C-alpha cells in the first residue's frame, strides 16, 4: 500500500429525484483519470455515493487515498454513522431503514480494501479539481 492517490468526487441531480450524474477524477503522480456516468431517476445523495464507489472500483490494488468530497452526507456516513447502522441491522437510531443502504454496503465493501483519508471540501469554492468533478457530474446528468 505505498501509492498515494488523490480522488475527487461529486454527484448532481436535475430535480431531486430526477436525472442524476456523478463524476470523479483520480490523480496519481502526473496521471489523471476522469470518469463519469448518470442515471434516469435518482437523487443527489445516491449520485454522491455512486461517484465514490465508481472511483474506488477503478483501482486495481490496495492504495493509500486522500478522498475529497463536498458531501458531508458521504463523509459523515462512512466515517461516523455506518457503524451504528450496521449494528442496528441497517436501521437509523430512530429504527427507520437507512436510505441508500444498497450503496452504503457497496461503498463499505470497497473502502476496506484501502487506507482512506476522507476530506471535506466546500463545493463551488474555487477548488480546481472539485470544479472539474462538478462539471463531470452535471454532464453525466444531462447526458441521460
Confidence of residue 124 (pLDDT cuts 50, 70, 90): confident
Q: What is the span of the domain harbouring residue 114? A: 4-142
Residues 66-81, mean pLDDT to the nearest whole number: 98
Does 20 participate in catalysis according to the annotation?
no
Give, as one character, the DSSP assignment of residue 112: T
Does 21 participate in catalysis according to the annotation?
no
Check residue 3 and give its pLDDT: 63
CATH number, position 17: 3.30.420.10
Does 76 participate in catalysis according to the annotation?
no
Percent of the chain at pLDDT exceeding 70: 98
Q: Which residues contact 55 (CB under 8 A, 6 or more apart)?
A: 7, 9, 24, 26, 35, 67
pLDDT digit string (tens) for 43-68? Answer: 999 999 999 999 999 999 999 999 99
The model's pTM: 0.96
Among 10, 21, 23, 39, the active-site one is 10
User: How many independent structural domains does the chain possess?
Assistant: 1
Among 20, 38, 70, 140, the active-site one is 70
Check residue 69 and give its pLDDT: 98
Does 124 participate in catalysis according to the annotation?
yes
Amino acid at each position: 500500500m505505498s501509492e498515494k492517490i488523490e480522488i475527487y468526487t461529486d454527484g448532481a441531480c436535475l430535480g431531486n429525484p430526477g436525472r442524476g450524474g456523478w463524476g470523479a477524477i483520480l490523480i496519481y503522480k502526473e496521471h489523471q483519470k476522469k470518469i463519469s456516468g448518470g442515471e434516469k431517476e435518482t437523487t443527489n445523495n445516491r449520485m454522491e455515493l455512486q461517484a465514490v464507489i465508481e472511483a474506488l472500483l477503478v483501482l486495481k490494488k490496495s492504495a493509500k487515498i486522500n478522498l475529497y468530497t463536498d458531501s458531508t452526507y458521504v463523509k459523515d456516513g462512512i466515517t461516523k454513522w455506518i457503524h451504528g447502522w450496521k449494528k442496528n441491522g441497517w436501521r437509523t437510531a430512530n429504527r427507520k431503514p437507512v436510505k441508500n443502504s444498497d450503496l452504503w454496503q457497496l461503498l463499505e465493501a470497497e473502502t476496506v480494501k484501502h487506507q482512506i483519508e476522507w476530506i471535506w471540501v466546500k463545493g463551488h469554492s474555487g477548488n480546481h479539481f472539485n470544479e472539474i468533478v462538478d462539471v463531470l457530474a452535471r454532464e453525466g446528468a444531462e447526458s441521460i
